[in-house]
Amino acid sequence: AAGGGKRSRLSRSWPTGPSKSLSGARCCGATRPGRTRTGFCNLGQDEFLDVIYWFRQIIAVVLGVIWGVLPLRGFLGIAGFCLINAGVLYLYFSNYLQIDEEEYGGTWELTKEGFMTSFALFMVIWIIFYTAIHYD
């Protein structure tokens, strides 16, 4: 697989051949049991950032529901969301996928992808569930 310092799950060679990603001959490998063979094969930069984006929205909805039901109040809730959102995604692409962040624009680019939209979505869900359960 092509260059880079980090050994990446996305960079292991794949029997079907090289991907059409922006990084050239980089491929993915589904080495974990249960994952499909297509996995992240052939994902370009834009497609991978879309995955990150939608993953963020899902986290925002889930945390908004949990925070609203508990309920978690105050800036602790907001800070908790920011940390969990950024932390989970960072662990996902850094430890689990082990990608080379520079291939996708750097850690900052991956961290900020869809963050503001997910934050707004989290706030809306949080407010709705909090109002419905604890004030209705």
Partner 1 sequence: VTSLLSESGCYSVVLKARELVFASFFLTLERFPAWQVGVQRRKCEMSTMFADTLLIVFISVCTALLAEGITWVLVYRTDKYKRLKAEVEKQSKKLEKKKETITESAGRQQKKKIERQEEKLKNNNRDLSMVRMKSMFAIGFCFTALMGMFNSIFDGRVVAKLPFTPLSYIQGLSHRNLLGDDTTDCSFIFLYILCTMSIRQNIQKILGLAPSRAATKQAGGFLGPPPPSGKFS
- Say whether the peptide bond before residue 33 is cis (omega within 30 degrees of 0): no
In the bound state with partner 1, the residue whose beta carbon lies nearer, of 50 and 94, is 50
Binding site for partner 1 (CB under 8 A): 22, 45-46, 49-50, 53, 57, 67-68, 71-75, 77-78, 116-118, 120-121, 123-124, 126-128, 130-132, 134-136
In the bound state with partner 1, the residue whose beta carbon lies nearer, of 45 and 94, is 45
In the bound state with partner 1, the residue whose beta carbon lies nearer, of 28 and 52, is 52
Q: How far is the CB of 5 from partner 1 (least distance, A)?
A: 17
Q: How far is the CB of 37 from partner 1 (least distance, A)?
A: 27
Q: How far is the CB of 61 from partner 1 (least distance, A)?
A: 10
